[in-house]
Amino acid sequence: MDINCLYLKACQEDKAAATQLFHSLSESFWILARHKGLDRHESEDVVQAALAKIAKSYREIEIKSSFAAWAQTVMKNQTIEYIRDKITYRRKLAEVSEAQAALRPSSTDLDLKRRLKRCLVQISRVNPRYARVISLHSQGYTTEEVCARLKVTTNNLYTILSRSRAALRACLEEENLADE
């Protein structure tokens, strides 16, 4: 039976005609989706979405020319929407991937961390107070907090911090020279 005839009968509350109408639409939509290059799962998603839109409004909408043409337009629009969403999703996924790649530490950062740790160990062997000041300062403790922990004055802390930075700088420069 013609889809337009099935549509007219389905609108008159003929359940068998409605079932047959949606079965016919499902088959033709499935072929269209596969023809558009969608895989099995994507085709299923698009066909179900299109059928749901049609089922929701086919009785209320006034179709003047052809139900088949209207249904094909719904399917076409659903396919376009699905492909557009898929492209948008892939673009956003690529952006997130690029952002995560930018956040990953580079080998230079890892090398610098390794060298910093080695220098801090060397400094702590020579003067543990220097290493402790650098460590507390890098952890974000305020000047007052570091002074309280080490029981030193602010001026004394600045002196220790200056000397410990100089020792760290010298150690890192020695490692640079050793690497070359």
What is the tally of helices (H) and strands (E) in the chain?
8, 0
Using the structure block, give the residue that is written with the tokens 């269209």: 32
Burial (CB < 10 A; 0-12, 13-18, 19+), residue 83, is middle
One digit per residue, pLDDT tens: the chain, 180 residues? 788 888 888 888 889 998 999 999 999 999 999 988 888 999 999 999 999 999 998 888 888 788 899 999 999 999 999 999 999 999 999 999 888 877 766 666 778 888 888 998 998 898 999 989 988 988 999 999 999 999 999 999 999 999 999 998 998 888 765 655
CB atoms near residue 18 (< 10 Å)? 19
